[in-house]
Structure 1
Amino acid sequence: MALRISLKPALPLIPLLPGLSLLGVLGVLLRDGHGGGISVLQQFAAGAVQPSIDPIVLGSLLKGLQITLVIAVMSWGISSVLGVGLGLLSSSTFWEIQAGVRWPAVILRRWLAPLRAVHELIWGLLLLQVFGLNGWVAICAIAIPYTVLMARVIADQVDCHVSPAIPVLKGAGATPWAVMLTGLVPPLAEPISDHIGHRLDCALRSALILGVFGLGGLGTDLSLSLRSLQFQELWSGLWMLAIAMVVLDRLLRTLRSWSRMLILPVAMASPWVALGWGTQLDLQLAWPVAEWSMVVGNLIDGSQGFNAALEISWPGVIGATVWITLIAGCVATGLPPLLLLVWPSQASLRLQGVVWGALRLIPAPLTALLLLMLAKPSLALAGLALGLHHGGVMGRVLIDDIRSTGLGSAQTMKACGAPNRVSWLYGPLADVSRAYLTYATYRLDVILRDTAIIGMVGGAGLGWQLMEALSSFHWWLVLWIVLISAVLTLLGESLGERLQGSWNSRAMAL
């Protein structure tokens, strides 16, 4: 009887497989490439070492950076506080402890899901049409999806960290709130505080993206500088942003080293600090008056809604969006481990940290505009721009995981005579591969949402269609695109959750 042997790739090889997509992307770039923008890119690189020191330029950039920080800090504080509260209410464990039922958590989760499926840029552009240009538009555009995303993470953490002490405490007659504080809070303090701190960096980048699309702050200054090819001014702003990101990261690390319980009180106080800061900057923070007449007037006629749904070839648009997502996801996942194996050493981790920080620093739309100087617009170019930006995030995750697990496995394999690259491949990379792949599936959800800001490069996808519909005030078409985007995002989340469960539970032999 013949034995059937199923061959599976070794676990540390799986993160490398998406990197094969780079061959196809490079092939498309070689086919569509042109040399017209090489001199411009040389000027861009030169601007990094010779940024503008004009006092007027620096003053304008500094004010833009402060506005971006105010928007980021205020939206971060609001979304953190509301997200923790809604996360508890969305947890089945919370309702089971409080009332012995689970159905309120299920209903609340279903109600909140569409809110997080809409990208913050889409929220910003929609609110801009209703409320006009106002500081609260950018703040609410970030706070709405971030609150619901935070609630989802908190609810998942609460339901996954059910302490065995909870039934004992309930059996001993402890009150529901005593059970919560004793059985849930201690194991949840570390992961929740880490996630809240991570969301501040995300909020800063989101505020920058909103500025790129005209909602004010440093992003607007960077976009104008790039479009006018003033690279020295552009790099002055990028260096300011880099310093701000490093300072915020150090402050959060110091805060967590003191006590992880301090992060939530700081988040609660941050909106009030940001409000006072924004007032000093003359940022328009008076609550705006909504102008619904134009939007509602266009939506009253239901026949226009049916006709609007037929204006777009949905299979082609959705297919382009999914294709950009897959390209970006493969680039973002495969690039960090590939670069790690090019020069596997402890010294290279520091250099790679600089590379990933630079990719996170430059917003994806600006990366796309730079790539357009080398090649014609295409879906591959859009996916590469988005993948490089998210590759910066994935690279940071990979390096942090390797540093936290240590390099002992690589040293052991080298002592046994294994080559350096093999030692790193089957040592540190194997140790973190499962956690890295789990985070990559979550990142794919984020990339799918971010196609809203990058579809313009390929001239395709839901993001491009949304920009066109908003510019022509075609509100029925805007509504259809937002609904399709939300459904697509929720389907992607469902698939991502199954993949995460697969990576977490499936035993894969080395």
Structure 2
Amino acid sequence: MNRPRPAAPLLTLLPSLALVPVLIVTWTGLHGGGLSIWQQCLSGALHPSLDPNVLRAVWHGLGVTMATAFLSWSLSLLFGVLLGSACADVVWRSWAFPTWPAKGLRGALAIPRALHELVWGLLLLQVFGLHPYVAVAAIAIPYSALVARIWRDHLDSADHRALNALISAGVHPLSALMTALNPGMGTVLMSYGGYRLECALRSATLLGVFGLGGLGTELQLTLQSLQFRELWTGLWVLAAVMLILEQLLRVWRGRSGDGVHGQRRILLFAALTIVLGVIGMFWLRLIVPDQFSGLSWIGMAVPSWTQLSAAATELPWLRMILETLVLTLLAAGIAIGLPPLALLLWPSSRWHQFCSMFWACMRWIPPPLMVLLLLLSNRPSLAIGALAIGLHNSGVMGRLLLEGLQQQSGQRQEALRAMGSSERMSWLYGLLSPQSPSYLAYGAYRSDVILRETVVVGVIGGSGLGWQLLESLSSFHWAAVVLVLCCYCALTISGESLSDSFRSLWLQS
């Protein structure tokens, strides 16, 4: 006898229950002192500063951020494709080699992929000092491992019949791989590479919030000094750049077809990747020439076994891990459950356009900046961190959901409406239901991303592994740093494996 299970569209709404404890804690933590500050903040959004000095500072910060994003993105695609090809089983089998080196390389790449770019930035900052290439490397290292994973997955899951036929006919393995797998892999590179460019721009802004230069530093300084008009000048400029980039990438993806024109766009995309990387490198040198005197090796003391044992006994492991996991669950619930719940409240085109604008704003504001905004009128808590990460990632999930719903034919919704169903029920089971499995599959992947992002708000909100990592780095307690990073890697690698299982489950359904 089959046990009853909730319908797929109801499962997309179930995670929104995380909003209940988060909103309760947030509501009880409100204080009236922040009301006037919030009024100034909202007034600054309507009247941003147009002072020439402010505009010059914003333009300079934007240049550093974009140059960092371009260079790190170009390097991550280059190294990601090379590493992804090196750890793909099909590549090794094409040369009749054993596949154990590929498996070993895949295991090694799990470590740089597990650490968030902010963690890499803080570590490299301690070792090399403040330098523009520190932010570039902090983004390029984890992004290369992420691109390598996606590239390898698509290589090994592609149809290999044409490749096997070419190799059997005596074609050189490299030529056979390029001929048989290039068309499909080129489309993957353009689609995922464009998405990674958006992420690189957000990451460069995020690293700036923590003092690594660029527009993020300008935003953080103006918020700390409560100069809201200057803050919104930077936010509106960032929003305009992100909006233009999103639209350009959407047009590019829509026109990247197959055949001869598709192959030309693949070559054009490869050339564009190299050109943007070169532009980013020279742009950085032009904007911040004083900081290009060379990397200085500050170094770190390698902890002994005695120091590691002492640090292991003094760290509050249970509290740190529980806070990190609770923060992940609450934030993932908000990110996954809020978009379908918001669209269900009023299933009309105008409301959906408003939601689209709201989610765009959530994507543009970095999570640590959102935490600082929420702390203007609230006490620090796990709920504030979960709300900041959840709202930021709901912007990504909301855009994905709207794009998927727009691709639905709408016939099922019209049929349900003709049978007498209400507007909400016809939308829920007519439009959302077919989209639910793929939406939940991406939600499983996003939960893995959220687990990595907990370190971002943990550094500010005083909770979880992120706060302990910052404290240990600030005091140069390298034994604690090593242990916290090992624990963080173990959690993220376990979360990645779990999210892969759930994603496969939903895609098969």
TM-score by length of 1: 0.94
Distance in 2, Cα, partners of 1:414 & 1:504: 28
What one-letter code is carried by the residue in structure 1 that aligns with 2:82? G
Deviations 1:230-256 (A, max 9, x none): 111111000100111122223333444
Tell me the secondary structure at the aligned position of residue 33 of structure 2: coil
Distance in 1, Cα, partners of 2:365 & 2:461: 19
What one-letter code is carried by the residue in structure 2 that aligns with 1:188? M
Alignment match, 2:151: 154
1:449-464 to structure 2, matched below 5 A, reads 449-464=452-467
Deviations 1:2-59 (A, max 9, x none): xx44111111111100001111211112232222212211221121111111111111
Alignment match, 2:216: 219
Distance in 1, Cα, partners of 2:189 & 2:404: 18
Alignment match, 1:290: 297
Distance in 2, Cα, partners of 1:100 & 1:85: 18
What stretches of structure 1 of length at least 5 have no aligned partner?
none
Alignment match, 1:51: 48
Identity of aligned residues (%): 44
Give the alignment's Cα RMSD to 1 decimal. Answer: 1.7
Q: Identify the match of residue 373 of structure 1 among 372, 376, 393.
A: 376
Alignment match, 1:280: 286
Q: Identify the match of residue 444 of structure 1 among 439, 447, 455.
A: 447
> How far does residue 158 in structure 1 lie from its aligned partner after superposition?
1.3
Contact preservation (8 Å) 2:68, 2:204: yes
Alignment match, 1:129: 126
Distance in 2, Cα, partners of 1:390 & 1:300: 37
What one-letter code is carried by the residue in structure 2 that aligns with 1:10? A
What stretches of structure 2 of length at least 5 have no aligned partner?
257-261
Q: Identify the match of residue 413 of structure 1 among 416, 432, 444.
A: 416
Distance in 2, Cα, partners of 1:406 & 1:53: 46
Distance in 2, Cα, partners of 1:476 & 1:457: 22
What one-letter code is carried by the residue in structure 2 that aligns with 1:391? S
Tell me the secondary structure at the aligned position of residue 464 of structure 1: helix
> How far does residue 501 in structure 1 lie from its aligned partner after superposition?
1.3
Tell me the secondary structure at the aligned position of residue 209 of structure 2: helix
* 1:473 lines up with 2:476 in the alignment: yes
Contact preservation (8 Å) 1:401, 1:432: yes
> How far does residue 171 in structure 1 lie from its aligned partner after superposition?
3.1
Between 1:189-198 and 1:177-186, the stretch displaced more is: 177-186
Contact preservation (8 Å) 2:303, 2:478: no
1:244-255 to structure 2, matched below 5 A, reads 244-255=241-252
TM-score by length of 2: 0.94
Distance in 2, Cα, partners of 1:404 & 1:291: 53
Aligned residues: 499
Q: Identify the match of residue 349 of structure 1 among 347, 352, 356.
A: 352
Alignment match, 1:270: 276
Contact preservation (8 Å) 1:321, 1:462: yes
Q: Identify the match of residue 195 of structure 2 among 178, 194, 198.
A: 198
1:158-177 to structure 2, matched below 5 A, reads 158-177=155-174
* 1:383 lines up with 2:380 in the alignment: no
Between 1:415-424 and 1:169-178, the stretch displaced more is: 169-178
> How far does residue 406 in structure 1 lie from its aligned partner after superposition?
4.1
User: Structure 1 165/412 Cα, relative in aligned 2: closer, same or farther at 3 Å?
Assistant: farther
What one-letter code is carried by the residue in structure 2 that aligns with 1:6? R
Contact preservation (8 Å) 1:377, 1:457: no
* 1:103 lines up with 2:100 in the alignment: yes
What one-letter code is carried by the residue in structure 1 that aligns with 2:270? L
Distance in 2, Cα, partners of 1:82 & 1:98: 21
Alignment match, 2:259: none
User: Structure 1 405/184 Cα, relative in aligned 2: closer, same or farther at 3 Å?
Assistant: farther
What one-letter code is carried by the residue in structure 2 that aligns with 1:221? E
What one-letter code is carried by the residue in structure 2 that aligns with 1:203? A
Alignment match, 2:236: 239
Distance in 2, Cα, partners of 1:455 & 1:336: 24
Tell me the secondary structure at the aligned position of residue 173 of structure 1: coil
What one-letter code is carried by the residue in structure 1 that aligns with 2:467? W
Alignment match, 2:322: 319
Q: Identify the match of residue 80 of structure 1 among 77, 81, 87.
A: 77
Distance in 2, Cα, partners of 1:189 & 1:426: 36
What one-letter code is carried by the residue in structure 2 that aligns with 1:271? G
* 1:401 lines up with 2:404 in the alignment: yes
What one-letter code is carried by the residue in structure 1 that aligns with 2:172? T
Tell me the secondary structure at the aligned position of residue 174 of structure 1: coil
Deviations 1:152-194 (A, max 9, x none): 1111111222343333333333332233123222222223211
Between 1:472-481 and 1:325-334, the stretch displaced more is: 472-481
Between 1:211-220 and 1:184-193, the stretch displaced more is: 184-193
* 1:207 lines up with 2:214 in the alignment: no
User: Structure 1 96/376 Cα, relative in aligned 2: closer, same or farther at 3 Å?
Assistant: same
